[in-house]
Chains A and B, each alone.
Chain A
């Protein structure tokens, strides 16, 4: 099973700053199969980025995704207070799906 490790565990930044979230896989993942979700407090997760770099419908262009192989990154270019959430990466492979443990984004 592919293990996804996200870092940092918690990120505290000010509005307008740039956030960089990392997702590292225990073995190579096709970029087509790497996804990011946003989960706001008390809500279900929401699809953010799929195929590593494709924004889901309605996601602002402040959000971008990059990476390949075992290292993937979600970047939020200019933080907005509404971005407070936990962000999860997820991979699909060998007919199984696994998630990272999440990065909690706090706004100062």
Chain B
């Protein structure tokens, strides 16, 4: 079955960068798109952006443009999300999720990784 396994929790100081990984298995890696969604503690879900796993093209939500970079390594079926210039408001659980439904990007997300908690604190 399709499975997404993310890297472990991170603690970063304000101004630092964090890179979260998401390893996919159970399907042809380059046949889909991968999204990143985050959830601040006790809050709702926020879409960050998407990467085309075949062509590596990306599209980011306006809020994160200039601070986020999404990449992929086809040799290891792993997707990466790097967020720079971290601030306390970036403390959240970050999820990778495969695009599902429709064509191209997908209309929704399935499955999801287990999530990676990123804590930004001095």
Interface residues of A (CB under 8 A from B): 32-33, 35, 37, 44-47, 50-51, 56, 88, 90, 92, 95-102
Contact = CB atoms under 8 A, between A and B. Distances in A.
Contacts of B112: 44-46
Given A95-B105, A96-B61, A97-B35, A47 B45 contact: no
B114 to A, nearest CB: 6
Given A32-B107, A50-B101, A96-B47, 4 more contacts: A35-B108, A37-B109, A51-B107, A99-B47
B66 interface: no
A51 B47 CA distance: 19
A44 B45 CA distance: 11
A95 B106 CA distance: 10
Contact of B113 (A44, A88, A96, A100): A44
A97 B102 CA distance: 14
Interface in B65-122: 95, 97, 100-102, 105-115
B19 to A, nearest CB: 20
What 6 A-B pairs are tightest by C-beta distance, nearest first?
A: A35-B108, A47-B110, A44-B112, A97-B47, A99-B45, A92-B107
Given A32-B102, A50-B100, A50-B101, A92 B108 contact: yes
A45 B106 CA distance: 17
Contacts of A33: 102, 107
A98 to B, nearest CB: 7
B25 interface: no
A88 to B, nearest CB: 6
Contacts of B61: 96
B108 A50 contact: yes
A96 B59 CA distance: 9
Interface in B25-58: 35, 44-47
A44 B35 contact: no
